[in-house]
Structure 1
Amino acid sequence: MKSILDVLTQCGNEFDECFTIVDLEKEDSPLVYINSYFTEITGYTAAESINRNCRFLQGPGSDQEVTKSLKNSISKGICCWYDLINYKKDGTPFWNRLMLIPIEHELLGVRYFIGIQSDITEKKEKILDTTLTETIESKISTNEIEHNVSNPLERIFANIRSMQYFTDQESAMVVKEETKTEIKKIIDYIRSI
């Protein structure tokens, strides 16, 4: 049977957005998986990123209040999203929309967090009106994230777990297509924010 990390990694490989996995059980909660979009956005390869805490993306323009709030959300094991300034490998700052989703195991509690990141620098630069920013941020609640991200993720995990029991290719392909549909729902939601 596949481990939770194997299932999450398989999901990350299907994502058309930056997808990372953090392991809370390991010292300093390092990244244990990144997909190719992480490298595309940040310039950091898997070899440079795995087993490091995501703090390496922070720099002089990173808002300490946001990073403190982010750390608090992780310690509480809650689903959350933040817009924060991170830095690419070449030192270029960018606005990172980070959505964190705790992955609960019925016996272990929260061990992993999935991070879904988008470079929203162009969006942020277009939003000059503070009230527009506040309107956008106020419409996104934890419940909305849970509904639009966690629910499809649960279906994805169930699909991936069930794939190991199929002996025929046709059934496996149906489940794979259903999984891709759920992944597309998550990506469409993230892009709509």
Structure 2
Amino acid sequence: MTMVPRGLADLIDSCEVAAVIADTGLHGTPLVVANHAFSRMTGYPVSQIVGRNCRFMQTGDAAATARKRIHNFVHDDPAMQDQFIVPYTRRDGTPYLNLLHLVKMIHPDHPMLVLGIQFDITSQSISELKRSSATMRYHMRLIEKLMLAEGWSLEPATIDIEDSLERVALCAS
């Protein structure tokens, strides 16, 4: 049984940026919370997302490499947050690149939860991504406050779209 802190699902759902929570204590680390922004980005209704791992939207060899890195981060890496670029496929079959920012949320009495903040870097302009990043930083402060009050620990998320896109550009060149 997933222990999502009281109010967290509502707070995630109020975010204008795609966000999900996965439970590492459940087999396959399925999503236990997905917001409507994530549903809009992927084309899948929330009812078809919750209970599944995002792997079902990740296709191709590049996604396999990203999945391995994500698995290592979640299960073996002491770091509390990291970013990944993952090829995704929308429900209608349209491919896109997802900038995935993962934040581990730790509680001494519960399995780790992982917050996934996601940006479609294929179809959004840089100015849209910057606005989304600023919005998410605001929501992250609220999430951090709620989680700390409930006895969870997490590092403040360092979501820097400009830095992320600069790293993407360097990798592409």
Does the TM-score normalized on the shorter chain lie above 0.5? yes
User: Which ranges in structure 2 are unaligned for 5 or more consecutive residues?
Assistant: 127-136, 151-155, 165-173
Q: What per-residue deviation string (whole Å, max 9, x for no partner) do you get for residues 81-115 of structure 1?
A: 1011111011111010001111111x236521011
1:47 deviates by: 1.5
1:123 deviates by: 6.4
What residue identity is the alignment partner of 2:15? Answer: F
Tell me the distance in 2 between the aligned counterparts of 1:5 and 1:54: 22
Mean Cα deviation higher: 3-12 or 63-72: 3-12
Which among 87, 90, 100 is matched to residue 88 of structure 1?
90
1:122 deviates by: 3.9
What residue identity is the alignment partner of 1:37? Answer: A
1:26 deviates by: 0.9
1:7 deviates by: 3.3
Q: Is 1:157 equivalent to 2:147 in the alignment?
A: yes
Aligned equivalent of 2:25: 25
How has the CA–CA distance of structure 1 residues 76 and 108 changed in structure 2, closer, same or farther, with 3 Å as cutoff? farther
Q: Is 1:113 equivalent to 2:103 in the alignment?
A: no
> Which structure 1 residue ranges, 4+ long, deviate > 6 Å from structure 2?
none
The CA RMSD over aligned residues, in Å, is 3.1
What residue identity is the alignment partner of 1:100? Answer: L
1:53 deviates by: 1.4
User: Which ranges in structure 1 are unaligned for 5 or more consecutive residues?
Assistant: 127-147, 162-184
Tell me the distance in 2 between the aligned counterparts of 1:24 and 1:5: 15
Aligned equivalent of 2:103: 101
The within-5 A match list for 1:25-174 is: 25-60=25-60, 62-76=62-76, 78-105=80-107, 107-108=108-109, 110-122=111-123, 152=141, 153-158=143-148
Tell me the distance in 2 between the aligned counterparts of 1:61 and 1:85: 9
Give the structure, 1 or 2, with the largest relative contact order (CA under 8 Å, sep 6 or more): 2
Higher Cα radius of gyration: 1
What residue identity is the alignment partner of 1:116? Answer: I
Higher percent of residues as helix = 1
